[in-house]
Structure 1
Amino acid sequence: MPAPANAIDSLLLRCTPAAHETATPLAQAALALLRQDLADLQLDLRLARVAQQPQGIAYLYFALGNPQPLSADQTAQAERRLQGAGMAGLAACELSRLQLVMHRVGSTHGEATPVHYAVEMDPEAGWQDELFAWYDQEHLPGLAAVAGTAQAFRYLNLDHGPLSLACYDLVDAEVMGCPAWLAVRGTDWSARVRPHFTNTRRTMFDAQPLVVAIR
């Protein structure tokens, strides 16, 4: 049976670990708290990705094994529980529902991906349809096909935004400077729509390996 059209596929937790602290233990603690808080929804929640800037913000992605509707109120309640858990890294965290728009697997899928690159933006008024068409028809599939891209995702962030989150798991940061990557970024369509990004965030993360599946 297909998931409802408004089903949530993942949760994104933005948080700031303490200095010299890796985000993985914080992610494990957050996962346990989320499972408790959302237990009645039977979400089959698992940790999918831990991405952290050195001495900076971390993006923790939690995948739902059975995508389903999740309300803004339920998400806000879970966020407050995390913020009040007594852990410094979660005190100012933001929890957002992510709705998957596109997932593309690249030629290097299965290889280690120590780099996670995220691009977030809100479309300028009147440009959402074309920006999303560009992303889904040309840009994200094109970058996913570049050697060194293991996989690429685009989500809608339904809570803290920006609205569009495109992210890429890369075998090396140098992938972003290779001719194939630059060619995808340099198309005529890209030049036309990119000036209409607003509230743009481009963030390069170190991706921490998930040595043990967390269930």
Structure 2
Amino acid sequence: MTDDGLPCDALLLRLPRTRPDRLETAQRLSQLPAWTALACHIGRGAWSDDSQCGWLYMPLARRLAVSAETLDALQACAGSHARVSRLELLQQLQGASHGQAAPFHYAVEMTPQPGFEDELQQWYDTEHLPGLARVPGCVQAQRWWNHDSGPKSLACYDLVSTQTLGSPAWLAVRNTPWSARMRPHFTQTRRTMFEATRNAGSP
């Protein structure tokens, strides 16, 4: 890896076959000088029974340029089965159900086809993410750009219930003319429903 530093607001740790509330890997990472330099902390975790994979978000205290060398040090500590990615926060919106418990975390990952990245950003910024955030049952909506492993675009939604995805209000946002025009230009699409796990330090 050769980049001199890419904008990063959080790290995403993917843990195949490991629930993120079992924090041995995160605890090892927290001992690294690179972790201390980033002022990183252990945030929300999520687990998918279907994919048998755990995710752990690790927010930075502020946006920093994180180098490939730093990422390699974190990856080496995480181990060969885990994956560490630098995430750049593009959008964060309170949902219609802000303040309610959100036991589910729904993630949509994809990479836009060449030539469609600018329109993708406009679609998400002005229509798609605000529209889904306004649906009852959505507690928070976020969008990240993944600089490393996995598809490039990550949109995620903290939900009161999995039934939110099938509600008429949610489906209406998904089925707009602009959405229909954009969806054929998605590649590497992954949609995963996670069960949210307790944050580290939660009682």
Per the normalisation by structure 1, the TM-score is 0.85
- 1:37 maps to a residue whose letter is L
The list of structure 1 runs, each at least 4 consecutive aligned residues, that deviate by more than 4 angstroms after superposition, is none
How far residue 41 of structure 1 moved from its aligned partner, in angstroms, is 5.2
- 2:8 maps to a residue whose letter is I
The C-alpha deviation readout for 1:26-45, integer Å capped at 9, x for no partner, is xx323322222244753222
Q: Does 1:158 align with 2:155?
A: no
Which of residues 41, 46, 50 in structure 1 aligns to 2:41?
Answer: 46
How far residue 61 of structure 1 moved from its aligned partner, in angstroms, is 0.6
Which of residues 34, 40, 43 in structure 1 aligns to 2:29?
Answer: 34
2:57 partner SS:
strand
Query: Contact 1:31 / 1:46 at 8 angstroms: preserved in 2?
Result: no
The C-alpha deviation readout for 1:170-208, integer Å capped at 9, x for no partner, is 000000111110110010000001110001111111111
Which of residues 175, 179, 195 in structure 2 aligns to 1:206?
Answer: 195
Which of residues 69, 73, 78 in structure 2 aligns to 1:73?
Answer: 69
Q: Does 1:109 align with 2:92?
A: no
Pair 156,118 (structure 1): closer, same or farther in 2 beyond 3 Å:
same
Aligned equivalent of 1:92:
81
1:42 partner SS:
helix
Residues of 2 paired with 1:136 and 1:76: CA distance?
Answer: 32
Where do 5+ consecutive residues of structure 1 fail to align?
84-90
Q: Does 1:9 align with 2:45?
A: no
Which of residues 158, 176, 182 in structure 1 aligns to 2:165?
Answer: 176
Query: Contact 2:88 / 2:144 at 8 angstroms: preserved in 1?
Result: yes
Pair 82,177 (structure 1): closer, same or farther in 2 beyond 3 Å:
same
Where do 5+ consecutive residues of structure 2 fail to align?
none
Q: Does 1:118 align with 2:102?
A: no
How far residue 6 of structure 1 moved from its aligned partner, in angstroms, is 5.0
The C-alpha deviation readout for 1:131-158, integer Å capped at 9, x for no partner, is 1211111101110111110001100000
The C-alpha deviation readout for 1:76-99, integer Å capped at 9, x for no partner, is 22111110xxxxxxx411100000
Query: Contact 1:131 / 1:193 at 8 angstroms: preserved in 2?
Result: yes
Instruction: Please tell me the root mean square deviation across aligned C-alpha atoms, in Å.
Output: 2.0
Aligned equivalent of 1:87:
none
Residues of 2 paired with 1:96 and 1:137: CA distance?
Answer: 26
Aligned equivalent of 2:56:
60
Pair 138,130 (structure 1): closer, same or farther in 2 beyond 3 Å:
same
